[in-house]
Chains A and B, each alone.
Chain A
Amino acid sequence: MILLTIALAFSLTPRFVTEAAETPSAKPKTIHLGLVSNKPRERIEEHLDLINYIASKLGPHMKGKVVVASDPEQMAKLIQEKEVDLYLESAYPTFLINEQTGAKLLLRRWKEGVAEYRTLLLTKSDSGIARLRDLLGKIIALEDPGSTSGYFLPKAFLIKRGFKLVEKSSFLDPVSSQEIGYVFSHGSEKTIINWVLLRKVAAGALNSSDFDKLGEKRKRELSILAETETLPRHLLSVRKDLDSALTQRLKDVLLTMHQDEAGQKALKKADKTSKFDLLPDGEEMVYQKIRELFRVVTQSKP
């Protein structure tokens, strides 16, 4: 029975794939916005106005649709199958997806007025940890393995400074004095802060944008042990074979939509997006930075 269940489960591809097979004629008139999340309902709800706004600006017969993939791999697959025309992601997954699919970076996405961010390694003020070396033999908290600020940036940062990081399943696991252990919180930034304050972990990784939102009292309880280099806050990419004229029109719409009221409303609803702008140093500079960090991270793997 279990085998039958597994077999049938594999035979059932997610609903957007089957839809694509059923409605090929709808493709030319529908522009698909891709997102990676395990909460499709909430993401669709948030970004529906954004894609509808974009579609309305692209042409009178255009319709918008939000497609949610559960992970970057699935998103890459959807792009390759032309089920996604543009997608929004942070730098690290964007690098992974674009490397796999050839999708192109188009614009930078500002969130809550922030264009770039970094990761802060935080420890409790009275923890006695003053330097990165004090973390040796201890466990730190990272967010999840797909997160740019919660995993990619802090891990690359520590490796580049010569520390050896090992993943632990629990913060009770023993850690060698030559290593820094890390556990994933798989939750919000609040979980990491709580772990730090409760001394469950020696330090935790938090992006600068989330840290800025903390109250003063909470900030005083924490001390910043280190700051990583910066990366764009969020990125928008398009699949490589998207019509160039359409891509240009899309770029124009996105760059100006924060200037009108309806566009502003749609942006704000879409995960507090402030606006889209051009990558200041171009697409290649971003890739170069991420590629370097990626190399550091992947080369350190045992």
Chain B
Amino acid sequence: MKVPTSFRPHLRFQTKLAVAFFLLIFVLVVAFVLFALNFYESKERVALEIRAASVASLLGQSLINPLYALRFDEMRMLLKNLLKQPDALYAYAYDKEGKILADGTGKNSLFDTIPADLFHSNAVKAHRFRLQYGGEGGRGRADILEVAQPIYLPDGEKLGGVRIGFSLIPMQQRIATARRYTIFLGALFALLGAGISALMGRRLVRPIGDLVRGTQLIASGNFDVKIPKSSHDELGMLADHFNQMAASLKEGRQLRRLKRYLSPQVAEAIINSEEHDLFQSRRRELTVVFIDLRGFTAFADSAEPEEVLALLRTYHAEMGKLIFKFEGTLEHFAGDGIMIFFNDPIPCDDHADRAVCMALEMQARAEELRREWSRQGYDLHLGIGISTGDAAVGNIGFEGRMEYGAVGSVPNLASRLSAAAKGGQILIDRRTLTKIEDFVEAEPLEILYLKGFAVPVPAFNIVKLKHPGRRGEKESVLEA
């Protein structure tokens, strides 16, 4: 009957392996035991047959003279000596007609009789040594081995013969003893095999168990798993490959995470770098860029959600291209607002230059988009704020929900400047200006009183690049 799958016992692989090993060892042990017993029994039988044949032959030789001269006492003495052997049951010498002349017993009670059994009549007619197993049931269950040796004169004349019966009981007792010992040893080996099977199963399955646990950890998102290499065989290779795979997956995840913030080429560069703990919290000088759309709230209120999403998709895509182009780190999207910073996790000396160049191209591209949006009836304009200074960067959040970002006054200032910027403006703070004033034209604005800042903030609007060619050089450097 087929057992429904749901009711089948789910054996562990280790158990299955151990059972398989044990069955293999058990079968081998049983086969060996059977072979050994059969071999021993055959050996015993052959040895007895050889001994019986030798004894009969030697006795036949010794009986030639007394049989020729009918020296009965000598015949009886020879047969009597033979009967001293522990397994010799009977022995008698007969003439060529089969009549018993001496039987080796004290009374010589078989004298002058002719045994009526078939073996005797065949032996009398035979010209050669004969052998048969007698008793209950043939060779397999016989309890006596009978041999008959014809006796000849050197000139070939037959004088008679000698017949001897050997008891098989001593041999069967030896076989039974050997059988007991062999079965005991077989059972011992089977038990030993069971132990070895369990150990081997455990030893073989341990690396597989490690792999299973490793895959479970990877499935749960932990790529820091490394399983021990327990051997130099295929399992060891499997462990190596698994560890390589885990490392690759970890790199892949890091890459995916980096690609959220960085251009693909920067992400690859970071992955391939030897620096670890890229997202470790630290303090670093950043140039932070904040952009958002003027008029977006009104647009979002009036437009259909699908329209809003479609517009945002285009807007994000276009801005994203520029972010990647200038190798900025995309900190986050928040509706129409986007925060980007430079100089982390890949450090770069010209972070302010890059930020400003990107901002200018963003405004240029936003202008193109604005024409399209205008055709659709939307009045949207891009405002950008840029601030430079030290900020805390690293992973922000908790296990399972971590974000890489920057915090501090610099991002806040960039955000406030972005909010203060009118459509088409790029507002920067003084520190940013000091870094870029060599190649941009900036106009000072009125002092801004920004929320969250106790003192007024001088702000500047970037008008254009002083030397567009130089901007081109800058871009070339960036692309290189």
Contact surface of A with B, Cβ cutoff 8 Å: 1, 4-5, 8-9, 12-15, 38-42, 44-45, 48, 65-66, 68, 70
Contact = CB atoms under 8 A, between A and B. Distances in A.
A4 B68 CA distance: 21
Contacts of B230: none
Contact of A44 (B71, B107, B108, B155): B155
Contacts of B153: 40-41, 44
Contacts of A45: 154
A77 to B, nearest CB: 13
Contact of A1 (B68, B70, B107): B107
27 contacts: A1-B109, A5-B111, A8-B111, A9-B70, A9-B72, A12-B70, A12-B101, A13-B70, A15-B95, A15-B159, A38-B69, A38-B71, A39-B65, A40-B64, A40-B68, A40-B69, A40-B153, A41-B61, A41-B64, A41-B65, A41-B153, A42-B65, A44-B153, A44-B154, A48-B154, A68-B68, A70-B69
Nearest to B69: A70
A14 B70 contact: yes
Contacts of A48: 154-155
A19 B101 CA distance: 17
B154 A41 contact: yes
A224 to B, nearest CB: 35
A202 B155 CA distance: 44
Contacts of B72: 5, 9
B107 to A, nearest CB: 6
Interface residues of B, number: 21
Contacts of A9: 70, 72
B185 to A, nearest CB: 50
Contacts of A68: 68-69
Contacts of A66: 155
Interface of B: 61, 64-65, 67-72, 95-96, 101, 107-109, 111-112, 153-155, 159
Contacts of B107: 1
Nearest to B112: A8
Contacts of B95: 12, 15
Given A15-B68, A41-B61, 11 more contacts: A5-B72, A9-B70, A9-B72, A12-B70, A12-B101, A40-B68, A41-B64, A41-B68, A41-B154, A42-B65, A65-B155
Contacts of A5: 72, 108, 111
The 8 A-B residue pairs whose C-beta atoms are closest, nearest first, are A41-B64, A45-B154, A40-B68, A44-B154, A70-B69, A8-B112, A41-B65, A14-B70
A38 B61 CA distance: 14
Given A1-B107, A5-B111, A14 B155 contact: no
B327 to A, nearest CB: 119
B61 to A, nearest CB: 8
A3 to B, nearest CB: 12
A132 to B, nearest CB: 39
A30 to B, nearest CB: 11
A5 B112 CA distance: 8
A12 B107 CA distance: 19
A249 B68 CA distance: 31
A13 B101 CA distance: 12
Contacts of B111: 4-5, 8
A41 to B, nearest CB: 4
Contacts of A14: 68-70
**Central interface residue in B68, B71, B101, B111, by most chain A CB within 10 Å:** B68
Contacts of B108: 1, 5
Nearest to A69: B69
B102 to A, nearest CB: 10
A38 to B, nearest CB: 7
**Central interface residue in A5, A14, A40, A41, by most chain B CB within 10 Å:** A41
A13 B69 CA distance: 9
A14 B69 CA distance: 6
A220 B101 CA distance: 50
**Central interface residue in B70, B71, B95, by most chain A CB within 10 Å:** B70
A38 B96 CA distance: 21
B65 A38 contact: yes
B112 to A, nearest CB: 5
A48 B155 CA distance: 7
Nearest to A63: B155
A175 B154 CA distance: 46
Nearest to B68: A40
A4 B153 CA distance: 29
Contacts of B68: 14-15, 40-41, 68
A33 to B, nearest CB: 11
Contacts of B96: 15
A38 B72 CA distance: 13
B147 to A, nearest CB: 21
Nearest to A74: B69
A181 B109 CA distance: 43
A288 to B, nearest CB: 34
A271 to B, nearest CB: 14
A44 B68 CA distance: 11
A38 B71 CA distance: 10
B70 to A, nearest CB: 5
B157 to A, nearest CB: 8
A68 B153 CA distance: 11
Contacts of A41: 61, 64-65, 68, 153-154
Contact of A40 (B65, B109, B112): B65
Contacts of B64: 40-41
